[in-house]
Structure 1
Amino acid sequence: MVYRYESDEDAFVEYPEHGSDLSVLGPGSPPPAGPSPSRFPTPSLPRTTRVAPPPAEPARPPAPEPARPPAPEPVWEPAPAPAAAPPHAPVDPSAAPVAAPPPRRGGGRMWQVVVGGTAVLVLLALCGLGGAALLSERGGDLITPPTDQPAAADSAEPEANDLDSRDTDQVPLSAKEVFPGQQLAVTEGQPAYRVLKTQSSGSCAVAATGEVAELLVRLGCNQVVRATLRTADGDHLVTAGLFNLTDRASAERARDRIRQVLDERQGRFRGMAADEKSEAIATAPARVGWQVRGHYLAYALVARSDGEPVRSGDTKVREILFDMIELHLNQGVLERRADGGVAAQPTADPDDGTGSQD
């Protein structure tokens, strides 16, 4: 091992011990007088880090035959004394030992690089998965066959009632359709009404007077089909029929206005006499009812056969109105016309559209 001495004192050895490497100088050789200069010159290299020298050891001149091979360290050639050497003498890099660089303390930075790289990889993986899912979803939408029929069925509005307008119900009414025979059995097991006379007219004014007739014409009524009937016991006469208006809206406007006109006695429905025995239906005070289904206004008026006024609590008159308007005209004639109940429009109780007329 070759050491670099920092001063002459580090190289001074006064009496080497017996058996040391310095005993090769031979017995009886006196030690050199005064401090011995170092045998090896001090290299002039830029020092980045000053390394503290090891403890001083006696100077050991080279032995003729070293007892052990020296460590694989570079050997410097002898040079003049250190005092005569220039402060910065050039040194051959191939011969000068290169101090080992201090270990770099990059462990923390290395961990940061590793953690950062891992985070980037995870982020890229997540982005790849999200993009794959999005492409898969879009691809599923693209290859899904169109289902026009179910979508149309879900989003389509309910079909309009065939009876809501004359545009969808263009076939005119007929007397045979509304009153097909001379006997009208409304309820099974109950006595039938006897049909005295039927009429189908393109002028709605023949079935009404005053403002009622004007209202019907103004709202587009172009047909009325009616009949006069007698109850099985002969005590009451009834004229019932259907007004054919433009659409449901016009029929509802007529329904709402008729009550006010009747209360103000500005018009009335006309009863149709079939013979002298049925004159009371056209002249006597009567009880009247009406209701709307589609673009039709169904009505009926009931009078006593003897011409006497109808009592307000006469339940028989209420039953006749219900039979004619609800059971026969609505659930019978118009239901068949709507083709087996396709139009499920609820109807109002005839009591909601009833009144009296003189």
Structure 2
Amino acid sequence: MVYRYESDEDAFEGHPGSGSDLSVAWNRPPARTGPAPSRFPTPSLPRTSRIALPAAAPPPAPAAAYPPPPAAHPPAPPAGGYATTQPLHLPRSRRARDNGRHGARLWQVVFGGAAVLALFALCGLGGAALLADRATDPQVAPSPPAAAAPSPSATERQDIDSRDTDSAPLTVKEVFPGRQVTVDDGAEPYQVLKTQSSGSCALAASGEVADLLATLGCNQVVRASLRSPDGEHLLTAGLFNLTDKATAQRVRDRLRQLLDDREGRFRGLPAGDDTEALTEAPARVGWQVRGHYLAYCLVVRADGEPVKAADPAVREILFDLIETHLTKGVLERRATGGSAEQPTAAPSESDNDSDENDSEND
């Protein structure tokens, strides 16, 4: 408890000064009677009817040369008064927040690292299990790489430039497999009247032409007589089997001179009645080399009249039989391994069926 001494009460009783506690605490007191109060100060007790106002703030104390050390605990405010200075304390809340943040980051790092390690462990276990399953399951076990399949051209392609690499003789079934020859889809077919296969090439030629074939090693001829789709022309077409490509080319180059000099000719293959023109009428002849074979065709008019040199029908027949049927058809199949290997040792006859050169075959 603090006692307040108001020793100036009597001095300012008659005229209280402005700003003093008495001037605002209460009104002027009534006149006193009786003996005067003592001049010595006596403790006064607070009146219950007095309105206590806060005292004026004391002037600030001069700053010390050296600030006092901070107190361990903030000083308590004086009893009955008001604290006029800010409390001195350490920033414990900020330090707690910083400590909390550092702790949260530490736990985040710890938990993040643990999660990554757990993920790696799961991946490793999954990969090991998968490898173990593949090693034990025969259906998914890796198989050795299969050998590369050889290309069809390497296994099926056949060299027909020489009889040494193409030793199988020609057959009637291979050259004229049916009773008709169709060169284009939708085109009218040629009717096969008669076929023949012979080991004597001279059977299909005469004069110097026959001698040339025999001299250069021709050992087989397969031929057939046919009728054109319009019925106005008869023809004999076939293949001569020579030793190699160079020999076949020699025959090709020599033929024109022999035919132009009328020192030999190709023989037509008669096929009964109404085919005599094949052996008697003037003819147009064409030939072409493919590999060690010589393809040829002889064309006559069915009525026995001479064939005109510029007759487009004759040129079309030569192209159809030499280029399309014999060269691109029969010999191409043989070159790709599709020939029928049925040798014919002796001459045979039956009533079934190109650089292009042509000449008259009188």
TM-score (norm 1): 0.53
User: What does 1:337-352 align with in structure 2 at a 5 Å threshold?
Assistant: 337-339=334-336, 349-350=355-356
Rg larger in structure? 2
2:257 is matched with which residue?
260
Bigger relative CO (Cα 8 Å, ≥ 6 apart): 2
1:293 is matched with which residue?
290
Residue 218 (structure 2) pairs with residue 221 (structure 1): yes
> C-alpha distance in 1, partners of 2:264/2:171?
26
> What is the CA-CA distance between 1:161 and the residue it aligns to?
6.5
> C-alpha distance in 1, partners of 2:274/2:309?
24
> C-alpha distance in 1, partners of 2:199/2:241?
9
User: What does 1:1-358 align with in structure 2 at a 5 Å threshold?
Assistant: 162-339=159-336, 349-350=355-356, 353-358=357-362
In structure 1, list runs of 5 or more residues that go unmatched. 1-159, 342-347
> C-alpha distance in 1, partners of 2:225/2:330?
16
- Per-residue deviation, residues 189-226 of structure 1 (Å, max 9, x unmatched): 11000000000000000000000000000000000000
> What is the CA-CA distance between 1:349 and the residue it aligns to?
3.4
> C-alpha distance in 2, partners of 1:295/1:191?
31
> C-alpha distance in 2, partners of 1:357/1:233?
22
* Contact in 2 for aligned 1:161/1:294 (Cα 8 Å): no
> C-alpha distance in 1, partners of 2:335/2:182?
21
> What is the CA-CA distance between 1:340 and the residue it aligns to?
6.6
> C-alpha distance in 1, partners of 2:220/2:310?
34
* Contact in 2 for aligned 1:229/1:239 (Cα 8 Å): yes
- Per-residue deviation, residues 127-159 of structure 1 (Å, max 9, x unmatched): xxxxxxxxxxxxxxxxxxxxxxxxxxxxxxxxx
In structure 2, list runs of 5 or more residues that go unmatched. 1-156, 339-353
> C-alpha distance in 2, partners of 1:184/1:324?
9
* Contact in 1 for aligned 2:158/2:166 (Cα 8 Å): no
> C-alpha distance in 1, partners of 2:329/2:243?
21
* Contact in 1 for aligned 2:163/2:292 (Cα 8 Å): yes
* Contact in 1 for aligned 2:286/2:298 (Cα 8 Å): yes
Letter in 2 for 1:349: D
> C-alpha distance in 1, partners of 2:295/2:219?
14
1:114 is matched with which residue?
none
* Contact in 2 for aligned 1:238/1:301 (Cα 8 Å): yes
TM-score (norm 2): 0.52
**Cα RMSD after superposing both structures:** 2.5
> C-alpha distance in 1, partners of 2:292/2:194?
25
> What is the CA-CA distance between 1:357 and the residue it aligns to?
1.4
* Contact in 2 for aligned 1:228/1:239 (Cα 8 Å): yes
> C-alpha distance in 2, partners of 1:334/1:176?
13
Structure 2 counterpart SS, 1:277 = coil
- Per-residue deviation, residues 237-295 of structure 1 (Å, max 9, x unmatched): 01000000000111000000000000100000000010121110111000000010110
* Contact in 1 for aligned 2:158/2:337 (Cα 8 Å): no
> What is the CA-CA distance between 1:183 and the residue it aligns to?
1.1
Letter in 2 for 1:203: S
Letter in 1 for 2:268: G
Letter in 2 for 1:311: K
Structure 1 counterpart SS, 2:274 = helix
Letter in 1 for 2:281: A
Identity across aligned pairs (percent)?
67
User: For this pair of structures, how many residues does the alignment match?
Assistant: 197
* Contact in 1 for aligned 2:301/2:307 (Cα 8 Å): yes
> C-alpha distance in 1, partners of 2:358/2:264?
14
